[in-house]
Amino acid sequence: MIVVMSPNANSKNIADVITRIEIDGYRAHLSEGEQHTIIGVVGESPTPLREDNYATLAGVSNVVRISEPYKLASRTFHPLDTHVPLNGSKMGENKVLIIAGPCSVESREQIIETACAVKEAGATALRGGAFKPRTSPYSFQGHGEEGLKWMAEAREITGLPIVTEIMDPALVPMVTEYADVLQVGARNMQNFTLLNAVGESQHSVLLKRGMSSTVLDLLMAAEYVLSHGNNRVMLCERGIRTFETATRNTADINAIPVLKQLTHLPVLFDPSHATGKWEYVEALSLAGIAAGADGLIIEVHPDPATAISDGRQSLKPDGFEKLMAKVRRVAEAVGRSA
């Protein structure tokens, strides 16, 4: 349920509504817009919610029940787009932001070289995995904190903020010392302990859709993070697993406009994982922007042939530079910038 305050409601009116929510055993989430303040009523309580108990309070304009199971992520609760700060810009505004870098942080030299290249081409942030979830226990698992230190050095040189994957709730305090954005990968989208931990961190979160998850599953995962008062959440469509074998995954372009309609959170697209083949990344990148994506996350490696992981889907720096030129043209064609 949400309580919509009238435009002339004062701070005491708002405080009285929040007090009543807490007395009834629920939690209040405040969302202040340009014209209205909306107070979300979330949680569970033995006390039934009665609209009349809130509609009669001073300063209340309307009381609305939210039918969606995701409350805080819903546009009903938060009609205006949420914008997440990133490197002087905001994900979710008119400018399409690009996150680029290698799948894995392999060495100090590799991550710095890549950071400089994607920065020169116009990337907004640097991605790279210091901790890697791998299907095989014998595959490269990442350099851990040493990799994060190399990324931090790359940030000092280029000014690009760091986006890196977090796998273990126990590692959140350490990773947040280095990273600007915590990425929850597809394999961990429904790791609810991890979602609670990154929510409590109040750090920006990039939440990737699970390979066999529905749009509703993704929104409910975001709800875990939002329930801790952490509103800096970005959603990422990265392809889903189907019967098709021509590509690594099946790019669900449909999910982009669907999510833009259902939620106020920024929506990104990952064409690298959606296709698994570098030669298709350009076409899917442009399609994602045309479909309304607020940003792209693209894998770039200085020498994909020698990459420890995901070299097959990684662009070379010169290929990324050419892609960025086309990204800008398509963004302009749909009334945006890049």
| pLDDT average, residue stretch 306-330 | 97
Both 56 and 91 in one domain: the answer is no
How many alpha carbons fall within 13 Å on the CB side of residue 15? 3
Report the range of poorest mean pLDDT among 10-19, 65-74, 88-97, 184-193: 65-74
Structural domains of the chain, count: 2
- What are 95's strand-pairing partners? 337
Read off φ and ψ for residue 27, nearest 5 degrees: -110, 145
Both 45 and 106 in one domain: the answer is no
- What are 183's strand-pairing partners? 165, 206
- Tell the burial category of 182 from Cβ atoms under 10 Å away from its Cβ (0-12, 13-18, 19+): buried
- Tell the burial category of 306 from Cβ atoms under 10 Å away from its Cβ (0-12, 13-18, 19+): exposed
* Interval 285-312: pLDDT, tens: 999 999 999 999 999 999 999 999 999 9
- What are 91's strand-pairing partners? 84
C-beta of residue 205 within 8 angstroms of C-beta of residue 188 = no
C-beta of residue 28 within 8 angstroms of C-beta of residue 54 = no
- The CATH number that applies at residue 161 is 3.20.20.70
* Interval 214-256: pLDDT, tens: 999 999 999 999 999 999 999 999 999 999 999 999 999 999 9
Both 210 and 270 in one domain: the answer is yes
Both 35 and 123 in one domain: the answer is no
Q: Closest Cα partner for 6 from 60, 56, 58, 52?
A: 60
CA angle, residues 295, 152, 129, in degrees to nearest 5 = 60
**Rounded-to-integer distance, Cα 168 and Cα 147, Å:** 16
Both 210 and 321 in one domain: the answer is yes
Both 94 and 57 in one domain: the answer is no
Residue 28 has pLDDT above 80, yes or no: yes
Q: What is the pLDDT of residue 123?
A: 98
Both 139 and 29 in one domain: the answer is no
Structure tokens belonging to residue 218: 């993704």
Structure tokens belonging to residue 95: 């400018």
Residue 262 lies in a domain: yes
Structure tokens belonging to residue 40: 């979300």
Residue 338 lies in a domain: no
Residue 111 lies in a domain: yes
* Interval 62-90: pLDDT, tens: 998 888 889 999 998 888 899 999 999 99
Both 24 and 156 in one domain: the answer is no
Task: Find where tokens 């770039």 sit.
Answer: 300
pTM over the 0.75 mark: yes
- The CATH number that applies at residue 37 is 3.30.70.1140
Q: Please tell me whether residue 127 adopts helix, strand or coil conformation.
A: strand
Both 97 and 26 in one domain: the answer is no
Residue 73 lies in a domain: no
CA Rg, the chain, in Å?
A: 21
Q: What is the pLDDT of residue 180?
A: 98
Residue 204 has pLDDT above 80, yes or no: yes
C-beta of residue 189 within 8 angstroms of C-beta of residue 207 = yes
- What are 165's strand-pairing partners? 183
Question: What residue numbers bound the domain in which 259 lies?
Answer: 84-333
Residue 75 lies in a domain: no
Helix (H) or strand (E) holding 11: helix 11-23
Residue 103 pLDDT grade (very low, low, confident, very high; cuts 50, 70, 90): very high
**Rounded-to-integer distance, Cα 283 and Cα 49, Å:** 49
Residue 78 lies in a domain: no
The one-letter code for the residue type at 7 is P
Both 111 and 16 in one domain: the answer is no
Both 159 and 306 in one domain: the answer is yes
Task: Find where tokens 């969606």 sit.
Answer: 68
Q: What is the pLDDT of residue 170?
A: 96
**What dihedral do alpha carbons 302, 305, 309, 315 form, nearest 10°?**
50
Both 24 and 153 in one domain: the answer is no
Crossing angle for the helix pair 215-226 and 192-201, to the nearest 10 degrees: 40
Q: Closest Cα partner for 191 from 172, 171, 168, 213?
A: 168
| pLDDT average, residue stretch 312-338 | 97
Residue 92 lies in a domain: yes
Residue 77 lies in a domain: no
